[in-house]
């Protein structure tokens, strides 16, 4: 049983083409996928439009966790995927190890989401509320800008935004 944010994230990330958009932003620009999902969540569920200061603060909140835990686990998982082993037993052992690392990586992402959710909950009452559709797009755009990504990349997030809004329509 997960939190509202975790459940929202699982549903949105699993929607058509969202995973590809998220991984493209992660791999091409270094964007933290959990921050994309947080921006979508706060906009879609709460109608909160984050400021540049909010984005900077939340990035600082999880930066060390990302750098010291999540990214190294991701790199290890990816390295294990490309390890060239000719011995079948070695290959089977590496496949099993990769599955364990992948599960640990997912758990590290869940822990980060708990950090993000607590950060947001502490501020939620003070944030003004607006229209969900506007807030999601504004939040994603603000996050991309914080990573130095131009407005033209916003089109690369259309499925994320649509899935976030569709998810709240279901609730």
- Say how far apart CA 137 and CA 154 lie, in whole Å: 8
Domain that holds residue 16: 4-170
Query: What confidence tens digit (pLDDT) does each residue in 125-156 have?
Result: 999 999 999 999 999 999 999 999 988 887 88
Alpha helices per DSSP H over 30-157 = 33-46, 52-65, 71-82, 88-123, 132-146
170 against 73, higher pLDDT: 73
d(CA 5, CA 11): 10
Read off the pLDDT of each residue in 15-42 and give the average, rounded to a whole number. Answer: 96
Report the domain count for the chain: 1
pLDDT digit string, tens, across residues 114-128: 999 999 999 999 999
Phi/psi region, residue 127 (left: phi>0; alpha: psi -120 to 50; beta: rest), is beta
Which of 7, 8, 37 has the alpha carbon at shortest distance from 21?
A: 37
Stretch among 22-36, 38-52, 114-128, 145-159 having the lowest mean pLDDT: 145-159
């Amino acid at each position: 049983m997960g939190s509202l944010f975790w459940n929202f994230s699982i549903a949105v990330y699993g929607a058509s083409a969202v995973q590809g958009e998220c991984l493209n932003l992660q791999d091409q620009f270094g964007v933290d996928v959990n921050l994309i999902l947080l921006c979508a969540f706060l906009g879609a569920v709460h109608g909160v439009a984050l400021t540049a200061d909010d984005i900077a603060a939340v990035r600082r909140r999880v930066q060390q966790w990302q750098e010291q835990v999540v990214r190294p686990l991701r790199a290890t998982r990816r390295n294990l995927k490309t390890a060239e082993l000719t011995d079948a037993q070695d290959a089977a052992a590496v496949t099993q190890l990769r599955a364990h690392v992948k599960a640990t990586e997912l758990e590290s992402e869940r822990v980060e989401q708990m950090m993000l959710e607590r950060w947001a909950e502490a501020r939620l009452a003070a944030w003004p509320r607006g229209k969900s559709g506007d807030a999601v797009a504004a939040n994603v755009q603000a996050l991309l800008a914080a990573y130095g990504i131009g407005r033209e990349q916003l089109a690369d997030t259309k499925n994320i935004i649509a899935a976030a809004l569709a998810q709240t329509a279901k609730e």
